[in-house]
Amino acid sequence: MKFATRSDIDAHVMHSGRHAGMSWLFDALETNRAILDDHFSLCGEQHARYFLRFRAFALDRTAIAGAVDLLAAEIPGGPKAPTRILCPESAGFELGRALSRRLALPIAVLAVDRTRRPVPRLVTGQLDPDDKVLLVNDIITTGQALVTMSRFVTSVGGQVRHIAVFATQGDAARSFAGRNDVPVSHLVHTHWPLYAADACPLCREGGAPLPAAEFN
CB 156 → Zn ion: shortest distance, Å?
A: 39
CB 115 → Zn ion: shortest distance, Å?
A: 17
Residue 104 or 208 having the CB closest to Zn ion: 208
Residue 166 or 195 having the CB closest to Zn ion: 195
Q: How far apart are CA 141 and CA 189, in angstroms?
A: 10
Positions in the binding site for Zn ion (CB under 5 A): 47, 200, 202-203, 209
CB 44 → Zn ion: shortest distance, Å?
A: 13
Residue 82 or 209 having the CB closest to Zn ion: 209
CB 39 → Zn ion: shortest distance, Å?
A: 6
Closest CA to 76 of 108, 106, 95, 103: 103
CB 184 → Zn ion: shortest distance, Å?
A: 28
Position with the least CB separation from Zn ion: 200
Rounded to 5°, angle at Cα 101 from 180 and 34: 75
Strand partners of residue 110 = 88, 122
Residue 33 CA, chain-centre distance (Å), reads: 17
Q: Where are the alpha helices (DSSP H) in the chain?
A: 6-12, 23-31, 54-58, 61-72, 92-103, 144-155, 172-180, 201-204
Residue 38 or 74 having the CB closest to Zn ion: 38
Residue 158 or 209 having the CB closest to Zn ion: 209
